[in-house]
Amino acid sequence: MVPFLYSELLSIIRGLMERVIKPGVLSDTSEVRLLKIDLEDSSVLIEHTKVDIGFSAEKALKETVKENKLSERQVMEFKVQCRSFVLKVLKKLLEKCPATYSLVQHLACLDPRKMSESKTRCKEKLKKVLTYLVAHKRINERDCDECIKEYCDCIDNFPSFGSAKFTEFNPNKDRLDEFYSTFMSWTAYSKVFDVVKMLLTLSHGQASVERGFSVNKEVEVENLKEYSLVSQRLVCDYVNSVGGILNVPITKELMTSASQSRNRYEVYLAKERDKKKTDTQKRKREELSQEIEELKRQCKQAKLDIDSLTKSADSYSMKAEKESNLSFIAHSNSLRQKAKDKMSFSDKISKKLDEKVQQLKEC
């Protein structure tokens, strides 16, 4: 999406500026100068009464004024705040957004719609992009002229490709990687196609925008695990680096490594089995430890309850003796029965706890 980023950001910035900047200033401003407008300069700002706050907001504001819910001073303060808010948003956009980056501005040369509009402008933009890539040692300087030639040839061949496919390109539906894979993946455009792939994948790694060009997509098969995918990718990268499979040196070390591959695979499987067994035991120990902690907590709570019930029963017995009231004896007996039940429950918990501790020792 990077080739469309500059025009989209510029559209957002211009739309915000039209709300707070004088029309005359914007009409005489080029794309580059638009990003350099001094928002601190009050001479370029429109009056607060003319700030565009939107149709619905303007209508609601007028209705509120008619109902005498707002004074003229409050309306003025509101519009001044709106202008201040839009200016702060613009300042933050101009400070942070990549529209000010030279590479982002000139990557519009990869927009099929721009390519169909002006070959000359796109060619100049491509030169700026290539200058940037050469400066950062991404491509070789001697390949630049060939890239520009192939790029211009591709544009000249629009009629044979079908001009409508370029002019009617829809960024919301169509994908650039698939588009250029269709029109540039010929030997005649190999240099420029390599540059296009580099630019479209520059900041995305193996993200979705790269899938149309990805080597991983070519080596993927069903049930391929990460280790195998990485290994195959390493092989592919090495073969490409030496210029093809026929240029790979067959050394003694390579042959020895290949002959021992089955043994290494068996060792790997054994390690994986041991790892799985260890993980299972570890998980089982963790579960047992959690159960033991919970049983200890229950056992401790049961003892506290037993002590509390016993003390309450003794208290009622003493009251019955002092006051000669048999109802206290009934309360005391009830509490002692509950204490006995709790003691029975505590014994069961203790027995279960001993079993779990023994299981943990055997793991």
Q: Residue 159 has what pLDDT?
A: 67
205 phi and psi angles, rounded to 5 deg: 55, -125
Which helix or strand (DSSP H or E) is residue 10 part of? helix 2-20
Per-residue pLDDT of 1-46, as tens digits, reads 777 788 888 888 888 888 888 887 777 667 777 777 778 888 878 8
Q: pTM to 2 decimals?
A: 0.47
45 phi and psi angles, rounded to 5 deg: -90, 145
Greater model confidence, 27 or 264 = 264
Q: Residue 160 has what pLDDT?
A: 63
Q: Which amino acid is at 156?
A: D
| Helix %, strand %, coil % of the chain (to 5) | 80, 0, 20
Query: What one-character-per-residue DSSP string does 136-187 give?
Result: TTSS-GGGHHHHHHHHHHHHHTHHHH-HHHHHT--TTT--HHHHHHHHS-SG
- What average pLDDT score do residues 281-308 get? 88
Give the C-alpha distances (Å, rounded to integers) separating 2 from 6, 270, 305.
8, 47, 69
User: Whole-angstrom Cα distance, residue 119 to residue 152?
Assistant: 7
Contact 105, 4 (CB under 8 A): no
Q: Residue 210 has what pLDDT?
A: 45
Residue 123 has pLDDT above 60, yes or no: yes
Confidence grade of residue 208 (pLDDT, cut at 50, 70, 90): very low
Q: Residue 26 has what pLDDT?
A: 77
User: Whole-angstrom Cα distance, residue 80 to residue 47?
Assistant: 9
Greater model confidence, 160 or 86 = 86
Most distant pair of Cα atoms in the chain: their distance: 117
User: Whole-angstrom Cα distance, residue 99 to residue 36?
Assistant: 11
